[in-house]
Amino acid sequence: MIINFAKYIISSPDYTKCPVPDKPEYAFIGRSNVGKSSLINMLCNSEKLAKTSSSPGKTQMLNHFEITSSLSPKEKNEEKAAPVKAAKAMASYTPPVGGDTSKKTWYIVDLPGYGFAKVSQSSRRRWEQMIENYLRKRENLAMVFVLIDSRHSPQKIDLEFMEQLKKWEVPFSIIFTKTDKENQRIVSKNVKDFFSAMKKTWQFLPQYFVTSALKKTGRDKILALIDEMNREAK
């Protein structure tokens, strides 16, 4: 997938103020400093796209970015060679933008993170209410990506957040971040330990991605999943 265009649209205080839900949407969340802005910028090939949302006043909002993407010439050729996939692509046909039928528009949402040290009970509750409403009620939400810092052993706060997602019946994938910052053996151990911890309360484990914003590791796989989901979206 090629990212043709990515732009910041709006920051909303709750899901009712978000843009019209007419495009598939992908939300990113994790504890503060997990590498969320860097990952969004890496996916979009943009140096400072997600900076907008970390400016004061916007950190507690739902931040929408509109993305326009298309298939690379190589991917288009592969499509032609795969009739079943091509038929599927036709089924989810969207009107061409500038003549390229593989062009899609979709949203990335940068969600306010959890785990800030000095947060009052009341603002924690406000955050939880906003996130719960958004995740349960946003009708075009295709996938939530939960970001986990690959340098750490399993953290209670992340496991607890996933328990919340289970309670709210929200499907999600996991993205392990900053893998270039730690010895690969330790990264693998942390990933393994994370899933061992999840297995205590989860019957099925989610899909996951191992990434580095610095090295662009994991980018193609995440974009391939988004592309697949964009095709399935109504």
Binding site for ligand GDP (CB under 6 A): 32-38, 54, 177-178, 180-181, 212-214
How many other C-beta atoms lie within 10 A of the C-beta of residue 201?
A: 10
Question: What is the closest distance, in whole angstroms, from the C-beta atom of residue 71 to ligand GDP in the complex?
Answer: 26
User: Which residues are CB-contacts of 202 (< 8 A; sequence separation ≥ 6)?
Assistant: 162, 166
Strand partners, 104: 69
Secondary structure E strands in 49-151: 62-70, 104-110, 141-149
Q: Which is nearer to ligand GDP, 67 or 71 (CB)?
A: 67
How many other C-beta atoms lie within 10 A of the C-beta of residue 11?
A: 20
Question: What is the closest distance, in whole angstroms, from the C-beta atom of residue 56 to ligand GDP in the complex?
Answer: 13
190: tokens are: 């942390």
End-to-end CA distance of the chain: 19
What is the rounded (10 degree) CA torsion for 95, 99, 103, 109? -80
Q: Which is nearer to ligand GDP, 33 or 45 (CB)?
A: 33
SS3 227: helix
Q: Which is nearer to ligand GDP, 70 or 134 (CB)?
A: 134
Look up tokens 């393994």; give the residue: 192
Q: Which is nearer to ligand GDP, 23 or 178 (CB)?
A: 178
Question: What is the closest distance, in whole angstroms, from the C-beta atom of residue 65 to ligand GDP in the complex?
Answer: 13
Question: What is the closest distance, in whole angstroms, from the C-beta atom of residue 63 to ligand GDP in the complex?
Answer: 11
Q: Which is nearer to ligand GDP, 68 or 217 (CB)?
A: 217
Question: What is the closest distance, in whole angstroms, from the C-beta atom of residue 43 to ligand GDP in the complex?
Answer: 12
Question: What is the closest distance, in whole angstroms, from the C-beta atom of residue 156 to ligand GDP in the complex?
Answer: 18
Q: Which is nearer to ligand GDP, 55 or 207 (CB)?
A: 55
Q: For 29, which DSSP code?
A: E
